[in-house]
Every structure is written in C-alpha cells, then in structure tokens.
Amino acid sequence: MKILALEQIRKCEELTIKEEDMPSVNLMERAANACAEWITKNLYQVKRFNIFCGKGNNAGDGYAIARILKAKGFYVKVFSFNPKELPPEAAKNHKRLRELGDIELLSFEKAYELKFEENSCVIDALFGMGLKGKIDDPDFIKIIDFLNGLENVHKVSLDIPSGLYINDMYPEGTAIFKADHTLSYQFWKKAFLHPESGMYCGQVHILDIGLNKNYIDEVEVEHFISDDAKINSFFRRREAFTHKGRFGKSALIAGSYGKMGAAVLSVAAALRTGSGLVYSVSVDSGYHIMQTNNPEAMFRKGGNDFIDTITITDDEYTIGIGPGLGTEPQTQEAFANFLKSYNKPLVMDADALNIIAQNHKLLKHIPEGSIITPHIGEFERLFGQFKNSFERLDEAKKLAEELKIYIVLKDHRTQIITPEGKVYYNITGNSGMAKGGSGDVLTGIITSLLAQGYTSLQAALLGVWMHGKAGDFAAEAHSKESFLPSDLIHQLGEVFKLLNK
C-alpha cells in the first residue's frame, strides 16, 4: 500500500469528487459512515458518545458522525469551538445538526462539568491533516489535557490524533490527543508508524472510503506499507520435482565463546526458512553446541574461541555475517580482509556492523546490493545520533543510496530502505520480539531467502514480514512476555503454511 504526501491526498480527494461528479460534502458523508460503522461494530458496548469538534473538515466528520450515531439511537453530545469559522462542508454538517435540533451542541467549557460515564466514548474531531505549527491555543490545550486525563472511557481519533502531523515529526511542546483507536481514511500515514507519534494513535484502522483508484495506482510515492498483497506478489511456492541444490547454500559466519546462542539461532532460522544447505562458520569451542542443536547444518571452523579466519569465496555460498561474532582484534582483522575481497550481496548484522562502526573505512567495501540489519543502537553507532526517528529515516535513505545497499532499520515498525530511496514499513510483529536473539533469527531468515534466489529487496521484505508473522503466532501461543526468539523459529512452519494457502 502506498503512503501519500498531504498534497497527494488532497489531490486524490479532489479527483474523486470530480470524477464521481458529486458534491464534496458526499465524500465527508462517506468518511463519516465508514467511521460510524466501524464504531458501532467494534465498540458495541458503548451507548454514549461525546464528540469534540475543532474548526476544519475534521470537525465536519465529527458533526456528520454525531448525526449518524444519533439516528442509530445512541446518546450523543457535541462540543465545538466557535463553529462560525468552519469550511463549507463542515459548515453544512454543522447546520444540519442544528436544524435537527435533537443533539446538544455545547461549548468546550461544558465538558468540564460533565460526568463522563464509564464505557462512554470520546471522539476527537479537533484537528485532522490540516494542522499547521503547534496547538498552542489555550482553549485547545486545556480540552486536550482534560480529555487525556479521563479514565475508563474509549477514545477514538478521526483521521489522526489531534496535534500530530500526518507524515512528519510534530513540533516540540504541542498538545496531542492520546487515542485508543485511530480511524484513518484510505491510507496509512507515517505518523502511525514512527514511535514518537505512533504512541498517541492506539490501534490504527484504515477505512476504505473509495478514493479514486486510478490516481492511487498511478501516483508516485517513496513510502509504502509492506502488506500481504506486496508479499504475495513475489512469494514463490516450492515446486515438486526439485532437489536441494535448487534452494541455495547459506553460510552463517557467527558466534564466539560465550555467544554461541546467536550463531545457533541464526543457523536454525536459515534451515527452517528452506535453504537447501546451511553451513555454520564458527568457533571450535562451539562445535558441539552447534552440531547438537542443528544437526542438519555443516560446520566449518573459523577459529578457536573467536573467529580469526574467514576463507569463503564469492561463488560458494550466500553469506550472513555478524551474530555473536564479538569484536576481538583478530576477528576485526579477519572480517576486514573478508569484506575487502568479497563482492556478492551479503547480509550483515550485529557485531559485523559494530566492527564497521569502529572502522568507517570499511563502509565502502560493503558489496552493492547487500542488506544490513541494524537496530537503532547499531545504526547510531554506525552513523551518529538523530533528533528523532523521522530524521534518522531521512539519513538512512541517503546512506542506502550512497552505499547502494538495503538497510533494514529495526524498530517497532521496521523500515526496509532501498538504494533507490524507497521505504517499506513492515507492520507484522509485536513488542514481544524486543528480546536478545530476535535479530539473529532475522539474519538467518534473510540469508536463507537470499540464497534461494530472491532479490535483495524481496529477501529483506519477505524476511522481515515472516519474522514479524512468526512473532505474532508465537505471542498467540505463549504471550508476548514469554515467547523466546527460538519460538519464532518454531513458528516459521505456520508462516509458510499461511503463505502457501
């Protein structure tokens, strides 16, 4: 799914109205109907709604929803801010509400006297995507603070929680409504996907309001959601009449004394992802651990307690390097020599990235088309600190282009960044995956996919998607708190079953 810029959403809205030859207020009605339907279906225990309207079309959505919910028999109160200043569509809906006469239209001040019943619902229609600068009007700050302080009520934002920008970091010191649910129209927005703003959105639900399909198909964007449709468009089923040589050879260069778990996990993940052959290049002191845990893998010694020799050449295997490698001087040297002589795309994680962070000259030796998979800490060690995740992403786009590599920036919503400057947000997975070892599993999965002939972009997209899905299945089976990175590996079979359906 594409993520559109503000002007593109406005253009799409305009074109929809023009092509369908309808009054613009009809589109607002469509949006309001979609929200009312979602609310009545999903918050079915709620009988009372208190709707807070600002001064733009977001308020118009709020007025229209008030009318629709009232007609369905709910108790509805509307609180507004000086509705004289409304744009035409919102003004029409405000007028209709006034003419109906059976809904209380109140000022914000009245809200402070109201008893908000348990299980009632507050709807935030204060600001939508038209907000500029900060919310610094004292009336709005006061009402937002007050609503954020309410307990035991459901909180729903229309389009976007008031105070946030759709695709950028919000300004410091602004007031922001904190939603339990955000009902947004047609497209994901970057605000829902970055931690600083995402924490205000609660659960995000994207409602189809039938915006112009041709425009959406054709419009050029840089940001995407890596959704099921994208994954299914290139996932390949395993054919009959085949043999192990067809599915590539993976080699995981990983592990050191005390860090064999990382190596074991990455090798196991590569095996479970379907690579025809998997080699472990690791240390002698971890030999028994590796062979006992992963008897299907072959072993090649790269050192005694830490790796000091890497003798793999380009045409042998597809390589994943880094998990549990350590940063001993001899390992650093072996890694540097290896990187200088190796030219095929590879997957790099963890200590491979930490070694590069200590020797930036190595950056230019990363083979074109490689995939690096830093978490935020590793990214910052490599490239410095950033004010926020939006700025970090902008820098990652520049770096991916400059170095001609794919960056998998691991975060709550992991971003896959291409050398062409495109960004794919992954939306599978959950907070239970924030555990040591989770990244080692991802390295194994992506390496295995790359070995099987997926392109670097496909391997990164599919690998991150599968890893997240496995996390969702593991959370279902064992809880987010309790599942382990090894459970992710055990769930990969379920993930493949789903992909093969």
Ligand X SMILES: NC(=O)C1=CN([C@@H]2O[C@H](COP(=O)(O)OP(=O)(O)OC[C@H]3O[C@@H](n4cnc5c(N)ncnc54)[C@H](OP(=O)(O)O)[C@@H]3O)[C@@H](O)[C@H]2O)[C@@H](O)CC1
Binding site for ligand X (CB under 6 A): 9, 13, 27-28, 31, 54-61, 87, 127-135, 137, 158-159, 185, 211
H or E element that contains 253: strand 249-253
Q: Which is nearer to ligand X, 9 or 281 (CB)?
A: 9
Our finding on whether 428 is near K ion (CB under 5 A) is no
Q: Which is nearer to ligand X, 189 or 272 (CB)?
A: 189
Q: Tell whether 457 is in a known binding site.
A: no
Our finding on whether 418 is near K ion (CB under 5 A) is no
Binding mask 18-57 for K ion (x = CB under 5 A): ----------------------------------------
Quote the tokens at residue 77. Answer: 């109160």
Determine contact, residues 322/299, Cβ cutoff 8 Å.
no
Quote the tokens at residue 76. Answer: 């509805």
Smallest gap from Cβ 175 to ligand X, in A, equals 10
DSSP notation for 328-365? -HHHHHHHHHHHHH--S--EE-HHHHHHHHH-GGGGGG
Q: Which is nearer to ligand X, 115 or 132 (CB)?
A: 132
Q: Strand 423-426 to strand 415-417: parallel, antiparallel, or no bridges (unpaired)?
A: antiparallel
Q: Tell whether 478 is in a known binding site.
A: no
User: Residue 408 CB: number of other CB atoms within 10 A?
Assistant: 29
Q: Tell whether 384 is in a known binding site.
A: no
Q: Which is nearer to ligand X, 127 or 483 (CB)?
A: 127
Q: Which is nearer to K ion, 58 or 447 (CB)?
A: 58
Angle at 500 between CA 497 and CA 501, to 5 degrees: 90
Smallest gap from Cβ 479 to K ion, in A, equals 33
Q: Which is nearer to ligand X, 27 or 409 (CB)?
A: 27
Determine contact, residues 320/443, Cβ cutoff 8 Å.
yes
Quote the tokens at residue 349. Answer: 């994680």
User: Which of these segments, 94-102, 158-166, 364-372, 376-384, binds K ion (CB under 5 A)?
Assistant: 158-166
Q: Tell whether 493 is in a known binding site.
A: no
In sequence order, the 6+-apart residues with CB closer than 8 A to the CB of 247 are: 238, 274, 275, 276, 451, 452
Residue tagged 């998998």 (tokens): 408
Q: Which is nearer to K ion, 9 or 310 (CB)?
A: 9
Q: Which does 87 bind (CB under 5 to 8 A by kind): ligand X, K ion, none?
A: ligand X
Smallest gap from Cβ 144 to K ion, in A, equals 10
Q: Tell whether 189 is in a known binding site.
A: no
CA distance 299 to 451: 18
Q: Tell whether 56 is in a known binding site.
A: no
Determine contact, residues 309/331, Cβ cutoff 8 Å.
no
CA distance 330 to 311: 14
Q: Tell whether 290 is in a known binding site.
A: no
Q: Which does 274 bind (CB under 5 to 8 A by kind): ligand X, K ion, none?
A: none
Q: Tell whether 303 is in a known binding site.
A: no
CA distances from 446 to 18, 65, 239, 451, 452 (A): 45, 46, 20, 9, 10
Return the residue of 124, 328, 349, 440 that touches K ion, per CB under 5 A: 124
User: Which of these segments, 30-38, 118-126, 311-319, 454-462, binds K ion (CB under 5 A)?
Assistant: 118-126
Our finding on whether 162 is near K ion (CB under 5 A) is yes
Return the residue nearest ligand X (CB atom): 56
Binding mask 58-77 for K ion (x = CB under 5 A): x-------------------
Smallest gap from Cβ 59 to K ion, in A, equals 9
CA distance 114 to 215: 45
Quote the tokens at residue 333. Answer: 């040297």
Q: Tell whether 344 is in a known binding site.
A: no
CA distance 321 to 323: 6
Q: Which is nearer to K ion, 157 or 456 (CB)?
A: 157
Q: Which does 124 bind (CB under 5 to 8 A by kind): ligand X, K ion, none?
A: K ion
Q: Which is nearer to K ion, 158 or 319 (CB)?
A: 158
CA distance 65 to 74: 11
Q: Enumerate the β-bridge partners of residue 425.
A: 225, 415
Smallest gap from Cβ 173 to ligand X, in A, equals 12
Under DSSP, the state recorded for 107 is E
- Number of helices followed by number of strands (H, E) in the chain: 18, 18
Q: Which does 157 bind (CB under 5 to 8 A by kind): K ion, ligand X, none?
A: K ion
Q: Which amino acid is at 415?
A: Q
Q: For the chain, report the end-to-end CA distance as a whole number of angstroms.
A: 21
**Residues at the contact surface with K ion, assessed by CB under 5 A:** 58, 124, 157-158, 162
Known binding-site residues for AMP equal: 410-414, 439
Residues annotated within the binding site for (6S)-NADPHX are 128-134, 159, 262, 324, 375, 440
